[in-house]
């Protein structure tokens, strides 16, 4: 397995590169007159990507053609600042002509419990999601190698449906809803976002191969193209042996 890395000088430059990839995906899908299904991520770099894209001018029809999903969500009320969807709305989506029905949010506790929200998101994906996988998925990578809310050693890694509940995340808040490895693996393009010195060891392990970290497992299982956006800090150990 050869992992493809694209380097940037710093987090801001990495965010701009990620925004360019998202813009290209939206434009290609619009030119092909088919919906663009995008899975977004939270985290500093994921939200910086959206903020960078907000400065771009795209035709209203391009935005109207897009469907936005999330790789995972914190199980919190809809307007809670910790929610990935709320952060994305403030950074980008609230300022665009995206149809409300095209913004596919995970339900919060006001609509039921964690299991109900997980099942509802799976049903939403089955009914309105991409039949052959997302056009592009963005995933922040944690210092522990987690992606979405799939953490090392947790049972959620073995889930086989579209979504899975994570009741005991090692990062607060504890309750989360996540797409599964199986759901993520069918994307046409998967972009891993890994910037900062705290991600350097994970980047090195994934590049070396044989890792059982969630990010490495998806890199191996993905049926489409994968790309790692790194900066100078996170790439500092690339090429070093185990």
Q: Are 217 and 180 in contact (CB under 8 A)?
A: no
Range of the structural domain that residue 15 is part of:
10-27+36-188
204 falls within a domain? no
Does 200 map to a domain? Answer: no
Q: By the 8 A CB rule, do 192 and 219 touch? A: yes
Please check whether residue 234 is in contact with residue 200, taking contact to mean a CB–CB distance below 8 angstroms: yes
| Predicted TM-score (pTM) above 0.85 | yes
Residue 150 located in a structural domain: yes
Confidence of residue 242 (pLDDT cuts 50, 70, 90): low
Instruction: Answer whether residue 223 is part of any domain.
Output: no
Q: How far apart are CA 184 and CA 197, in angstroms?
A: 26
In this prediction, residue 206 has a pLDDT band, given cuts at 50, 70 and 90, of: very high
DSSP string, 12-41: HHHHHHHHHHHHHHHHHHHHTTS-EEEEE-
Residue 94 lies in a domain: yes
Residue 60, phi-psi category: left (phi > 0), alpha (psi -120 to 50), beta (remainder): alpha
Residue 235 falls inside a structural domain: no
User: Which CATH number does the domain housing residue 143 bear?
Assistant: 3.40.50.1360
In a domain, 212, yes or no: no
Q: What is the pLDDT of residues 15-38, one digit of tens each?
A: 999 999 999 999 999 999 999 999
Q: Which of 164, 121, 170, 166 is nearest to 145 (CA)?
A: 170
Would you mind telling me the total number of residues written for the chain in this entry?
242
Q: Domain for residue 229, yes or no?
A: no
Number of domains in the chain: 1
Note the pLDDT tens digit of each residue in 162-187. Answer: 999 999 999 999 999 999 999 999 99
Query: What is the enclosing helix (H) or strand (E) of 210?
Result: none
């Amino acid at each position: 397995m050869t992992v493809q890395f694209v380097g940037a000088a710093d987090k801001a430059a990495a965010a701009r590169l990620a925004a360019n990839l998202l813009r290209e995906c939206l434009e290609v899908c619009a030119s092909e007159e088919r919906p663009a299904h995008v899975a977004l991520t939270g985290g500093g770099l994921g939200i910086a990507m959206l903020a960078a894209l907000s400065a771009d001018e795209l035709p209203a029809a391009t935005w109207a053609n897009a469907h936005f999903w999330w790789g995972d969500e914190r199980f919190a009320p809809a307007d809670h600042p910790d929610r990935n969807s709320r952060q994305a709305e403030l950074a980008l989506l609230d300022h665009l002509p995206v149809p409300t029905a095209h913004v596919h949010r995970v339900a919060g506790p006001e609509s039921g419990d964690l299991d109900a929200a997980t099942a509802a998101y799976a049903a939403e994906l089955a009914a309105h999601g991409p039949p052959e996988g997302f056009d592009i998925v963005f995933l922040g990578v944690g210092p522990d190698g987690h992606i979405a809310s799939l953490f090392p050693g947790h049972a959620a890694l073995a889930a086989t449906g579209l979504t899975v509940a994570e009741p005991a995340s090692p990062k607060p808040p504890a309750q989360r809803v996540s797409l599964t490895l199986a759901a993520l693996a069918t994307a046409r393009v998967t972009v891993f976002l890994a910037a900062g010195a705290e991600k350097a060891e994970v980047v090195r392990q994934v590049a070396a191969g044989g890792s059982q970290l969630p990010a490495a497992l998806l890199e191996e299982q993905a049926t489409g193209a994968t790309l790692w956006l790194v900066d100078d800090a996170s790439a500092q150990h690339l090429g070093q042996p185990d």
